[in-house]
Structure 1
Amino acid sequence: MITELDPRLHAFDPDARVAEDSLRALLPEPGWSFVSAWPAQAGAERLSLRAAPDPEAAQVSEALPGEGIDRLWDGPDGWVYVRVQTDGYLGWARAAGLVDAGSADTSLQVTALRAHAFAGPKISRPIRAELCLGSVLGRGEGEVVEENLRRWVPVVLPGGAAAWVQEVTVSPLPDGDPADLRADLKAELALRFLETPYVWGGRSAWGLDCSGLTQVVSAAFGHAIPRDADQQQEFLTPVARPQRGDLVFFPGHVGLMLDERRLVHANATHMRVTVETLGEGAYGQRLEASCTGFGRWNG
């Protein structure tokens, strides 16, 4: 029965014989221990999820600051097995990177690609946290402070520390309705990631992989899609002819279409986010030859 489960999404350890409680019916053999998750949050730093409880293990994904986390079971040496609530992805994380969810305020979302939280309402104050698109903050006590034509908002970082961000950091993105406008805005946002370094398992403008790019861009406009390229392809509606904002798929890879031929993607060939044209040049020809289809959000 275990072979039918996806270890990216189903929490079970056949060696330790421990699994999440929801898998009881799928693991009827004796000797299993079942656990229930309890809620936590990623702290004020991006939380690396790894394939094993080892700092040398491959990074499989990241949780962004303030994202909800299901804490499943403890491992050795301060490691804990967790699930990111936004996409259900599993991995091992350092327990020190988690904070108690409690009744944390999550009313503010960072909309800047990259940003910093400061100790006070001034750019010369010490940096308290490194933020990114999709980070979740609370609204701090007090009023907005205007300083040298800048507007500073008091915030609460994950874990409860007080800080300040400029208002532009949390200003809403443009409205994405109707659907064709939202698709265009996705493409525009994806282009803002150009030259971002490629990082396996990354999900932020500090460094990301191919499906990390398409996932965070989609999420910015309310479209929650799975973590990995193959999961995204299965999740979206297949289309024969791509439009701006559609996703394009290859074996183990995904990009976002800018029109019928051009795509923007995070790729390990150039080690950064680039724009390519299907069928153009040696690289574009390889991409076109390996394309496995296109997908569109129809939710």
Structure 2
Amino acid sequence: MRMAEEALRGQLEGAGWRFVQPVAAVTGRSRLSLRAAPDADSAQVSEALPGEPLELLWEDGTGWARVRTVHDGYLGWARADGLLPRGPVGNGELTVTALRAHAFAGPRISRPVLTELALGARLTRAFGEVVEEEHRRWVPVLLPDGQDAWVQEAALSARPDVDVAELALRFVETPYLWGGRSAWGLDCSGLTQLVYGAFGRALPRDADQQQAALTPVQTARRGDLVFFPGHVGVMLDDRTLVHANATYMRVSVETLGEGEYGARLQADLSSFGRWTQ
């Protein structure tokens, strides 16, 4: 079956195309894996965080859906049961600012955990008052599937980070995960997209796309991105970078030209990129 969205009608060669209109959807309460093919064994290409808007393009009849993320236009296959047609109606939207957090069944740390949250996940503020308990402030929320939950106000407060480099450093020791976009596990371009996005700088998903989106510069300064073949990191100064890498399977800090790994990075360096918008 040859599938394409309606906007491409008249632009594709050959016969037998079935055209579909994208339908708005959101990710459910858990992170949603986007895969390269409608197969659980295929590679994860990205993740959609809880509550993030998606476009449902079509379903294949076996439980898989072809989807596109709204914030960066990234395509992948996801389990259809991880999608919702819309988020709940409440008292406004909340964005998680903690690197990692949990939503609880009640306003107490001993209550059951309902789901894992991460920086950038979206919740709905439920109607009701903040509850204070043992000097903690609990905010009533609705998870994307509409279930009542409670999140500590600290996980929703303004970030203390002054720039993208400082935020990137907070991810040090986070496990490396191909296609990951959260502090539960991320890849190199997932880290850079996440920290730039937290400061209102929308980057594409992949390293080569990010390289094309930024202005090339000869000398790096703090907050610039550094590019290698198929890899990207955030510069802390003109020589030091923080990056999610499969060499150490975690987020780590390296100095260009220093040590065996630093020497390899220096030799492979292709360019620095700067946000100038």
TM-score, normalised relative to structure 1: 0.90
Does residue 1:111 correspond to 2:89, yes or no?
A: no
Q: Is it true that 1:154 corresponds to 2:140 in the alignment?
A: yes
Aligned with residue 237 of structure 2, among 237, 244, 259: 259
Change in Cα spacing, 1:125 to 1:103, as seen in structure 2 (3 Å) is: closer
Alignment match of 1:232 (pick from 173, 187, 210): 210
Q: Give the match's secondary structure for 2:260.
A: helix
Q: Decide whether the 8 Å contact of 2:2 with 2:16 is kept in 1.
A: yes
Tell me which of 14, 38, 63 is aligned to 1:53. Answer: 38
State the Cα distance separating 1:281 from its structure 2 match.
0.9
Q: Distance in 1 between matches of 2:229 and 2:108?
A: 47
1:59-80 per-residue CA deviation (whole Å, 9 max, x = no partner) reads 0000000000100010142100
Give the Cα separation in 2 of the matches to 1:45 and 1:229: 25
* 1:1-299 equivalences in 2 (<5 Å): 16-101=1-86, 104=89, 107-174=93-160, 185-299=163-277
Identity %: 65
Change (3 A) 1:145 1:211: same
Q: Secondary structure at the match of 1:265?
A: strand
Shift of 1:26: 2.7
- Kept in 2, the 8 Å contact 1:53–1:93? The answer is yes
Q: In the alignment, is the contact (CA less than 8 A) between 1:100 and 1:159 conserved in 2?
A: no
- CA-CA distance at 1:103 after TM superposition: 6.2
**Could you tell me which amino acid in structure 1 is paired with residue 273 of structure 2?**
G
The alpha-carbon deviation at position 104 of structure 1 amounts to: 4.5
Q: Deviations over 1:211-263 (max 9, x none)?
A: 00000111111111000000000011111111100000000000000000000
Q: Which runs of 5+ in 1 are unaligned?
A: 1-15, 177-183
Structure 2 residue runs of 5 or longer lacking an equivalent are none
Residue aligned with 1:61, SS: strand
Distance 2:192 2:10 in 1: 34
Runs of 4+ in 1 over 3 A off after TM superposition: 102-106
TM-score (norm 2): 0.97
CA distance in 2, matches of 1:31, 1:96: 28
Give the AA of the match of 2:201.
Answer: H
Retained in 1: the 8 A contact 2:189–2:232?
yes
- Cα shift readout 1:55-113 (whole Å, capped 9, x = no counterpart): 00100000000000100010142100000111110000001111121664561000000
The whole-number CA distance in structure 1 between the counterparts of 2:223 and 2:89 is 34
SS in structure 1 at match of 2:4: strand
The separation in 2 between residues aligned to 1:246 and 1:86, in whole angstroms, is 22
Q: CA RMSD in A?
A: 1.3
**How far apart are the structure 2 equivalents of 1:253 and 1:145?**
45
Task: For residue 173 of structure 1, report the CA deviation from its aligned partner.
Answer: 2.2
| Greater shift in the superposed pair: 100-109 or 76-85 | 100-109
CA distance in structure 2 between the aligned counterparts of 1:81 and 1:70, rounded to whole angstroms: 9
Contact preservation (8 Å) 2:187, 2:245: yes
The offset of 1:185, in angstroms, is 1.5
